Structure 1
Amino acid sequence: MWSSDDPSLRTQIAALSPTVSPDEARRVAYTAYMTGRELHREWRVAWLPGIQNFLVNMGARKGGLCFQWATELLVRLDALKLQTLELHWAESGPNTGAEHNVIVVTARGQPFGEGILLDLWRYSGTLNKSELARRLGGRGDVASKQVRSTTKSN
């Protein structure tokens, strides 16, 4: 879906906890979709992620590897200065050729495994979201690092 006004994602984020601000849920959904759109254009993304990876590794494209999508999304979401939501970096298959990186959104203090996975790489800038962060990998395959600037006390 290319809609930056996705009521489904806003509702999923807001439903993480009664403490989640509906405005923050809206801003996260909007930012995730718009980041995908903007980077798709800027990086001249090929439809298949594997082709984009090849083009990036050959120097023919500026960006489009999964960690680049995740990093750019994280930077933009972090700039929102969220108070009721936390951002997590997630990876599957770390330090392997199959490593994959995404961002997971949780309510403040909520376990990582209950978050919503946001992946811009899998569909070349079209947001792929999942309610279950565990879906990212097999048992013991998912690692999480809290983003310091979004988890500090105010």
Structure 2
Amino acid sequence: MTILPALARLCLLVTALGLAGCAAPREGPPPPGTAAEIDELRLGLLALGPDVDPEEAARAARLTYETTHRLALEYQIVDPPLVHNAKVNAGLKPRGLCWHWSVDLGARLEQENFETLEVHYAIANAFNPFRIEHSTAILSSRGDSMYDGIVVDPWRKGGVLFWSPIAEDVRYDWQPRMEVFARKRAVQDRREELTARESF
């Protein structure tokens, strides 16, 4: 390990811990979802359209909250999101970056093989130099666009599930994850091409 990366990680951790002083402290991990919260998400999923099976909506709502709580325990969440990120990046916590939440929650929902619901993955701020990149999973009615779906985001409230119809989640400009990856690859390919030209 060189001194520079270690110093950079230390600076990130110190900055994040400094920001933690501005956040309300929490005793222990985030609480599990309540029956009322699970039922609200169930109703939100049913509102996606008449083709959504009521049993699948109920199961998806329950699993989304249960998985959020299980992952919060596995990730050892006790801090606000940016503080936890700094600890993950410094090697002090195992997981818990937004893309960990997105992939792990989405994978658990996909295991259910829903017939009337579909899991999507999205990224916001990938090309915005002034905002931190953010990933999430989205649930929609089977066959619908992610833009018709519901954002399920456990990261932004530090292990407490945030959910909202994507059209109402004005904090983020969500883009399909694979489109973001393709654009990043194109940018990287272009950089490599320019570097190769300059080396001749």
Counterpart amino acid of residue 130 in structure 1:
S
8 A contact 1:10–1:29 mirrored in 2: yes
Normalised to the residue count of structure 1, the TM-score between the two structures is: 0.84
Structure with a larger share of its residues in helix? 2
Q: Deviations over 1:122-141 (max 9, x none)?
A: 11211100123462656xx4
Quote the RMSD (CA, aligned, Å): 2.0
Separation in 1 of the partners of 2:78 and 2:97? 11
Residue by residue over 1:68-90, the C-alpha shift from the partner in whole angstroms, topping out at 9 and shown as x without a partner, is 01110011000000100111101
SS of 2:52 mapped into structure 1: coil
Aligned length: 144
Q: Which residue of 2 aligns with 1:127?
A: 161
Give 3-state SS (helix, strand or coil) of 1:87's partner: strand
Shift of 1:109: 2.0
Verify: 1:53 aligned to 2:108, yes or no.
Answer: no
Report whether the alignment pairs 1:17 with 2:49. yes
1:104: which partner in 2? Answer: 138
Q: Which amino acid aligns with 1:2?
A: G
Higher RCO structure (Cα 8 Å, ≥6 apart): 1
Matched with 1:152 is none
Q: TM-score, normalised by structure 2?
A: 0.66
Partner of 1:41: 73
Runs (5+) with no aligned partner, structure 2:
1-31, 179-200
CA contact (8 A) 2:123 2:175 kept: yes
Who wins on radius of gyration, i.e. which is larger? 2
Matched, 1:64 2:96: yes
% identical equivalent positions: 32
Q: Paired residue for 1:149?
A: none
CA distance in structure 2 between the partners assigned to 1:103 and 1:10 by the alignment = 16
Change (3 A) 1:120 1:62: same
Which protein has the bigger strand share?
Answer: 1
